[in-house]
Structure 1
């Protein structure tokens, strides 16, 4: 698998290198690594960075690298803090950042129902200020937060009850794995590029890493058979980060340009995922849909509320975030359709 990953990394890097325009000696150059593999990054990262490079021209160019190409995903934070990498696109959880908010990155169980919940929580309910403070303490610039897809199981065998989860070896995010372990799920951590092969060889029974759009985009729909419609969370929470020293060196207009392109990236994912999730459920030919009955899945949602309280008890900052989630979801429930129903 190590050899395969190196070959994939080289193959993915080659086109990017060929596409990079000649740059002046004075051009600022950054290296940005995403937690996403090449096939996914082509949708969720590359278009925004291509726009940045086209506008910045000779003043600044950003080179993009995909999952594990420069450093393993679990070492992204350390590399960013050291300046080995200038910028990162990732959730807090995957890159193991040493902050009080790390547990909420990726998929914090049932914190959101829809992707639009994430920007609302950050821009109207105070999460942005908390993230900015937490990362400033460890010398990293938190640039912006956005939503990706919901978290569903895609498996080789059908999941139609909670009992079917027992013993299933699943590739998932650290916090999601910690939560779902109480229902018998066995979380497995391997490099992202090795997931497809691990599903083929039987090292994995499934994944709880994405929605159906990613399953089709990155090839996991070719090596799994079933898609569980119940989800752990309505949207992944991810971010753009920058090395603080490199960020402070940028002229103000290039800072604004980078922020605008990050926001454009977040917006693109809003409609790409939202449309893709619905279309592939209805028209996707590869995965059979299964569901766990609502009355049984209610046990998982109830366990999530207990999990929230467990996390809130760990620190004052975590308690602040959990309270925001509680207040927000209570308001959405009171607002009713189309915000919440059922």
Structure 2
């Protein structure tokens, strides 16, 4: 049998057309869905987490989607760890202290008294001084993936009445972090725990006398500048240590490229917060217009600094892991002091 050139071209053309016209087999899968809750209320969350989540959802191109919830929307902040560990929530942005993590490093989350001077101290300690591995090990032991740590703002008092001396702190009911509250009680501060969204009303009703939860950027951003009058320039710590966490099983189910994308977006979020807070802290002191600045004299504030060193030793005596972290803090700060300006002065 022979095949004419005409029949070959005809049959070939038909076969090619059939191949081109054949619809692609649909292989798309439904996107992976995660629920994430942050410690921050909506106004603050717009800055400290939403840009990272939005970026991740865009870049993931339908393969994965994170639904973001703000403070206390799914569970109270104090129950965030348990909800994440059980899988009720897939991912969390918080400090260890606020979400009551059952780890040996919990007391160092949030504001560890006088442990940090600047925001860059946090990534330096985690990436160059070994804290990253300690945190990863502690959380892996309780079924949680520690994704990354970053710095937020320093911790200052925003109050109704002026604070010009340590004596002015006596009896002040203050919303603050658990470990910071534990430290401040020796100066007469009465720590108060409330849902984040209730703080503004509590200041208005007199249930609170002040807030030691943030720097001045948050005080203005979330509206606390409308219910306070004074801002103390002395800080309890130079930077907040916060983290991104995930349920370990949910994390392990992600393909490697989505794990890397998630970690990268969160790392960029840490960088964004560094310059957002750094610029805001200086600018709002000068140009904020609502809060009057007060300062406790340096000689008197040295009492607080000395008390912090005693507090560190008390924490170190509680466990081997805590002792290891405190020793790293001491070594790091010793290097910074010896290095001099601009690290310490």
Correspondence for 1:186: 190
Correspondence for 1:93: 97
| Partner of residue 198 from structure 1, selected from 191, 197, 202 | 202
Runs of 4 or more, structure 1, over 2 Å off, are none
Quote the Cα distance in structure 1 between the aligned partners of 2:152 and 2:124.
14
Correspondence for 1:233: 237
Residues 248-263 of structure 1: pairs in structure 2 closer than 5 A: 248-263=252-267
Quote the Cα distance in structure 1 between the aligned partners of 2:214 and 2:228.
13
| Partner of residue 60 from structure 2, selected from 29, 49, 56 | 56
| Uncovered stretches (5+) of structure 2, i.e. residues with no partner | 1-27
Instruction: State the Cα deviation string for residues 245-274 of structure 1 (Å, max 9, x = none).
Output: 000000000000000001010000000000
Q: TM-score, normalised by structure 1?
A: 0.93
User: What SS is found at the alignment partner of 1:234?
Assistant: coil
Does residue 26 (structure 1) correspond to residue 30 (structure 2)? The answer is yes
Quote the Cα distance in structure 2 between the aligned partners of 1:296 and 1:25.
63
| Partner of residue 305 from structure 1, selected from 303, 309, 322 | 309
Q: Give 1:26 shift.
A: 1.5
Correspondence for 1:141: 145
Q: Give 1:25 shift.
A: 5.6
Quote the Cα distance in structure 2 between the aligned partners of 1:224 and 1:327.
38
Quote the Cα distance in structure 2 between the aligned partners of 1:318 and 1:293.
32
Correspondence for 1:333: 337
User: What SS is found at the alignment partner of 1:193?
Assistant: helix
Structure of higher CA gyration radius: 2
Quote the Cα distance in structure 1 between the aligned partners of 2:29 and 2:130.
41
Does residue 69 (structure 1) correspond to residue 36 (structure 2)? The answer is no
Quote the Cα distance in structure 2 between the aligned partners of 1:241 and 1:302.
33
Quote the Cα distance in structure 2 between the aligned partners of 1:142 and 1:45.
16
User: What SS is found at the alignment partner of 2:60?
Assistant: helix
Quote the Cα distance in structure 2 between the aligned partners of 1:265 and 1:180.
30
Quote the Cα distance in structure 2 between the aligned partners of 1:115 and 1:307.
22
Quote the Cα distance in structure 1 between the aligned partners of 2:94 and 2:149.
10
Correspondence for 2:45: 41
Instruction: State the Cα deviation string for residues 288-339 of structure 1 (Å, max 9, x = none).
Output: 0000000000000000000000000000000000000000000000000000
| Partner of residue 124 from structure 1, selected from 121, 128, 149 | 128
| Partner of residue 282 from structure 2, selected from 270, 278, 281 | 278
User: What SS is found at the alignment partner of 1:58?
Assistant: coil
Quote the Cα distance in structure 1 between the aligned partners of 2:286 and 2:211.
21
Q: Give 1:57 shift.
A: 1.7
Correspondence for 2:23: none
Does residue 324 (structure 1) correspond to residue 328 (structure 2)? The answer is yes
Quote the Cα distance in structure 2 between the aligned partners of 1:71 and 1:328.
36
Quote the Cα distance in structure 1 between the aligned partners of 2:202 and 2:288.
23
Instruction: State the Cα deviation string for residues 66-105 of structure 1 (Å, max 9, x = none).
Output: 0000000000000000000000000000000000000000
Q: Give 1:58 shift.
A: 1.1
Quote the Cα distance in structure 2 between the aligned partners of 1:222 and 1:273.
19
Quote the Cα distance in structure 2 between the aligned partners of 1:284 and 1:160.
20
Instruction: State the Cα deviation string for residues 127-172 of structure 1 (Å, max 9, x = none).
Output: 0000000000000000000000000000000000000000000000
Correspondence for 1:15: none
Please report the RMSD computed on the Cα atoms of aligned residues, expressed in angstroms.
Answer: 0.6
Does residue 287 (structure 1) correspond to residue 291 (structure 2)? The answer is yes
Paired residues in the alignment total 318
